[in-house]
Amino acid sequence: MVDVEDLSLVGTHCPYCALQCGMTLQVRRAEQGQAMVTVTPRDFPTNRGNLCRKGWTCAELLSSPERLTVPLVRRSRSEDLVATSWEEAIDRTVTALTALQERYGPDSIGVLGGGGLTNEKAYLLGKFARVALRTRMIDYNGRFCMAAAATATRRAFGVDRGLPFPLSDIERTDLLILVGVNTAETMPVLLGHIERMRAAGGRLVVIDPRRSATAELADIFVQSTPGADIALAQGLLRLVIDAGLVDEAFVAARTRGFDEVRAHAMGFWPERVEALTGVSIVQLRAVVEELRRAQTTILLTGRGVEQHVTGTHAVLAYINLMLALGRVGRPWCGYGSVTGQGNGQGGREHGQKADQLPGYRSITDPCDREHVARVWGVDPEQIPGPGVPATEILTKAGTEDGVRGLLVFGCNPAVSAPEATRVENRLRSLDFLAVADFVLSETAALADVVFPVTQWAEETGTMTNLEGRVVVRRKALDPPPGVRSDLEVLAMLATALECRSAFPSDPAAVFAELRRASSGAVADYAGIDYERIVTEDGVFWPCPSADHPGTPRLFLDCFPTPDGRARFHVVPSSSADEAPDVEFPLCLTTGRLLEHYQSGAQTRRIDPLRRAVPTSYVEIHPATAQWYGVTDGDTVRVRTRRGSFVTTARVTTKVAEGTLFVPFHWGGAERANNATRAVTDPESGIPAFKLSAATVEAAARMSP
């Protein structure tokens, strides 16, 4: 007897990180009628038939008992969320938004998006905020991840694309330098490219304050002090200059501003850099020796470098190093930033970011505004100006200076935002909060209205991976009855708000409009369509026309700056902006684990992942642990000036003495972001997640 019926076999991509690994979903219907989805890896350039544990188990969430299938509403602040109809959910939302805007003005409503939303959703959300709500106050959670690298690469190269080359270039480079990147845990499938590089004779240098799983694989591991990247990069540049490794011909022909940077680097002599970074002169010279031996080099930064008050400057310092070596803009060479979220790249290209319109068009440039206004069918004057970064929206929410109502799509700031206790209080103080999600995340649990929306395999849409390659995730099965897509929610809200511009809910129609809106811009998608993406295993932007091949490698001939040259930047010296002191003598840094993704709203609901790492922990060096009377497995409280969280101690030499590392994927009492700082890099708005002065208390001495 046949007990299952084959429904579909769909080639698609993983719902999680920016590698967007290829996978095939086999959908079958069991006798009881429910759909069963099986994941198998697919040969795709980023994963070559591999998946990590998160990818293998991702289909579990499709049938999770915690799945939201009906809208929820909180009829008064003292009541719980209860099930309601879509009509009431939309009506309540529009009534609240309209009343607040009539009383406090258009900017009293904020919109927060996410780097996991498809390009179509990110695009329509930006249009909804600016056209239907007429608010400036839109930003997205990519501000917490990619903002520093985005700002730095725009300044240095004229464009922000995470990797300006295909990932497979790693396999052909002589030397890969990873700075603040723990790919073995955050993006394990990328290790395949590194293994192939090493099989071909390539070398790996890892620079990180923590002896991470990636550091264990390195030919040279450089353990630096948290927040010491600017001094370290300048010190390496000084040694590169001293060793005569500057590519003078490249610098003269393709860059501007090196003389000032060369002079500035002279102030970073090895002894000084050793004192500033904790990295010995021997190790500094060893890295420079690797650079001398290599003909080609790729240098990648991650959040370890970027999530600091000086994040943009730290990235610029490493870009200076690569430009001086002439190892940018030629094959198997380059600087890149490893994007984290699945659509962290596309999510910032198409209008969720406070200062950008679709295609990376500038919201302050009259020509850009006119182009987008034409596509949207509005007067350019009607498009509001730039807003403020996500952290500012959140920390001022519910105050006189902040938004009074907030719409959240694809984002869980109650766990992922810095100073999360304060953010949670701000969210509670809002006059109105609506959240679109497929599970009751910590943020959704605070909302007045919750929209149950589709998840990845139940809808079609494009994502742009860390290489700037646009891929399509195809619908494999119908969503549960009662669930709508985010596009449908936006269309319903726009209609109820009596907005006259078009808000299509069909992803293909939205993508067609996005192509027109991005046409002629930096991130030009005009020549990309779903069919082409599938046929060509993704298409790299810019791709201005149907007969254009796409652009896997940027900068080969010139940089997209006004004069075609890259820019060096003199990076000011800086010391840690929150140095440890007597009260808080330790350095707290946060990060990610292999088993969990972002705020954990999805992966904490997947059995094998939850069982593998059920709770948070803090890594503490044996000497530090002994000093504080902490033993392995103890319950401890980690405290900073912002707040505290409770977790379990793991005594390990992975971290240096005086450093605490904690993953940030949990809410409640374990929420690491209770203790992080909402202070941001003034250049990019990225929060300083990676460095907080902290202390730790053993359970026995824990205050009540």
| 44 vs 661 by CB, closer to ligand SF4 | 44
- Min. distance of Cβ 349 from ligand SF4 in angstroms? 19
Does position 339 bind ligand SF4 by CB under 6 A?
Answer: no
Q: How far apart are CA 552 and CA 469, in angstroms?
A: 8
CA distance 345 to 541: 11
Question: Please, what is the minimum distance in Å from the beta carbon of residue 670 to ligand SF4?
Answer: 22
Query: Interface with ligand SF4 includes 187 (CB under 6 A)?
Result: yes
Please state, as a whole number, how many other Cβ atoms lie within 10 Å of the Cβ of residue 96.
Answer: 20
Query: Residues for the chain: how many in total?
Result: 704
Q: Does 452 bind ligand SF4 (CB under 6 A)?
A: no
Give the x/- contact pattern for ligand SF4 in 9-28, rule: CB under 6 A: -----x-xx-xxx-------
User: Which DSSP letter does residue 310 get?
Assistant: T
Among 53, 173, 129, CA closest to 608: 53
Instruction: Give the up-direction half-sphere exposure of residue 589: CA atoms within 13 A in the CB hemisphere.
Output: 30
Does residue 270 interact with ligand SF4 by CB under 6 A? no
For residues 250 and 456, which CB has a smaller minimum distance to ligand SF4 in the complex? Answer: 456
Q: For the chain, give me the number of helices (H) and strands (E)?
A: 23, 28
Kindly report the backbone phi and psi dihedral angles of residue 651, in degrees, each rounded to the nearest multiple of 5, phi listed first.
-85, 120
Q: Would you count residue 39 as binding ligand SF4 (CB under 6 A)?
A: no
Which residues partner with 617 through β-bridges? 648
Q: Are strands 586-591 and 659-663 parallel, antiparallel or unpaired?
A: parallel
Give 264's contacts (C-beta < 8 A, 6+ positions apart).
234, 570, 571
In angstroms, the CA 660 to CA 658 distance is 7
Instruction: State yes or no: residue 227 binds ligand SF4 (CB under 6 A).
Output: no
The pair phi, psi for residue 370, each rounded to 5°, is -65, -45
Q: Which of 27, 94, 176, 189 binds ligand SF4 (CB under 6 A)?
A: 189
- Taking the complex as a whole, the smallest distance from the CB of residue 407 to ligand SF4 amounts, in Å, to 27
Cα-Cα-Cα-Cα dihedral of 693, 696, 701, 704, to 10°? 70
Specify the residue, 188 or 507, whose C-beta has the smaller distance to ligand SF4: 188
Are the CB atoms for 639 and 697 separated by under 8 Å? yes
d(CA 431, CA 403): 9
Residues whose CB falls within 8 Å of the CB of residue 450, separated by 6 or more in sequence, listed in order: 68, 71, 72, 73, 81, 89, 434, 435, 436, 437, 440, 444
Residue of the chain from 25, 27, 52, 131 that contacts ligand SF4 (CB under 6 A): 52
Contact window for ligand SF4 (CB under 6 A) among 187-195, 234-242, 384-392, 450-458: 187-195
* Cα distance between residue 54 and residue 621, in whole Å: 29
| Cβ distance to ligand SF4 smaller for residue 278 or 342 | 342
Q: Is residue 225 involved in binding ligand SF4 (CB under 6 A)? A: no
Residue placing its CB nearer to ligand SF4 in the complex, 559 or 597 = 597
Q: Does the protein bind ligand SF4 through residue 188 (CB under 6 A)?
A: yes
Asked whether position 621 contacts ligand SF4 by CB under 6 A, the answer is no
> What CA dihedral angle connects 140, 145, 150 and 151, to 10 degrees?
90
Question: Does residue 47 touch ligand SF4 according to CB under 6 A?
Answer: yes
Torsion region of 682: left, alpha or beta (phi above 0 gives left; psi -120 to 50 gives alpha): alpha
Mark the segment that binds ligand SF4 (CB under 6 A) among 52-60, 158-166, 204-212, 687-695.
52-60
- Smallest gap from Cβ 547 to ligand SF4, in A, equals 31
How far, in Å, CA of 384 to CA of 137, rounded? 9
51 binds ligand SF4 (CB under 6 A): yes
- Is 145 a binding residue for ligand SF4 by CB under 6 A? The answer is no
Q: How far is the CB of 41 from ligand SF4 (least distance, A)?
A: 8
Q: Between 189 and 636, whose beta carbon lies closer to ligand SF4?
A: 189
Q: How far is the CB of 190 from ligand SF4 (least distance, A)?
A: 7
Residue 54 is a binding residue for ligand SF4 (CB under 6 A):
yes
Q: Is 115 in the site for ligand SF4 (CB under 6 A)?
A: no
Instruction: Give min distance, CB of 47 to ligand SF4, in A.
Output: 6
| Binding flag, residue 184, ligand SF4 (CB under 6 A) | no
Handedness of CA 167, 172, 173, 175 (dihedral sign): positive
∠ CA 154-155-160, rounded to 5°: 10
Q: Which of 55, 347, 527, 542 binds ligand SF4 (CB under 6 A)?
A: 55
Closest distance between ligand SF4 and the C-beta of residue 182, in Å? 13
Nearest to ligand SF4 of 187, 232 (CB atom): 187
For residue 356, state whether it binds ligand SF4 (rule: CB under 6 A).
no
Judged by beta carbon, residue 116 or residue 126, the one nearer ligand SF4 is 116
Q: Could you tell me the smallest distance in angstroms from the CB atom of residue 533 to ligand SF4?
A: 17
User: Which residue has its beta carbon closest to ligand SF4?
Assistant: 55
Q: How far is the CB of 55 from ligand SF4 (least distance, A)?
A: 2
Alpha carbon distance 328, 333 (integer Å):
6
Distance CA 614, CA 630 (A): 21
Q: Does 457 bind ligand SF4 (CB under 6 A)?
A: no
Count of CB atoms situated within 10 Å of the CB of 251:
22
Residues that bind ligand SF4 (CB under 6 A): 14, 16-17, 19-21, 47, 51-52, 54-55, 187-189
